[in-house]
């Protein structure tokens, strides 16, 4: 029951890193997603702007498990416009992957094992 309380109180990747460093057994699965979203633009900002802007989010869902208990922590790695050039998409994806790599290193340093995935 103590593990259930510990995992319930965790809401950030750092919380699970801390638990692992304190000797708790933490397992992890990483799921990456590209979400398409529409952002409404307030009227009257400029006349040549659209009412809606198509955007995308590159997100990571970290599924942490401790015993029978599980918690999902989501993190946004990049926000971009669906209308950007292929080169801009490539740069944004590269930045998102570099950010992922930094988080992966922190998790590995805490002895949490998982399979690395990239966008």
Q: What is the mean pLDDT of residues 99-110?
A: 98
pLDDT in tens, 9-54: 899 999 999 999 999 999 999 999 999 998 776 666 555 666 788 9
In a domain, 46, yes or no: yes
Range of the domain at 33: 2-109
- Contact between 107 and 13 under an 8 Å Cβ cutoff? The reply is yes
pLDDT in tens, 76-102: 999 999 899 999 999 999 999 999 999
pLDDT surpassing 80 at residue 8: yes
In a domain, 32, yes or no: yes
Q: Among residues 38, 76, 30, 41, which one has the least CA distance to residue 57?
A: 76
In a domain, 72, yes or no: yes
Q: How high is the pLDDT of residue 28?
A: 98
Domain tally, the chain: 1
In a domain, 13, yes or no: yes
Q: Among residues 75, 79, 62, 54, which one has the least CA distance to residue 116?
A: 62
């Amino acid at each position: 029951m103590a593990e259930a309380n510990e995992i319930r109180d965790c809401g950030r990747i750092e919380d699970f890193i801390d638990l692992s460093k304190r000797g708790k057994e933490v397992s992890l699965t990483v799921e990456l997603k590209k979400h398409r979203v529409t952002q409404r633009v307030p009227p009257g900002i400029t006349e040549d702007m659209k009412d809606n802007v198509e955007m995308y989010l590159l997100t990571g869902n970290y599924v942490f498990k401790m015993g029978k208990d599980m918690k999902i922590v989501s993190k946004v790695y990049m926000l971009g416009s669906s209308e950007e050039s292929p080169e801009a998409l490539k740069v944004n994806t590269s930045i998102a992957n570099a950010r992922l790599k930094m988080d992966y290193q922190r998790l590995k340093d805490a002895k949490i094992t998982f399979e690395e995935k990239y966008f």
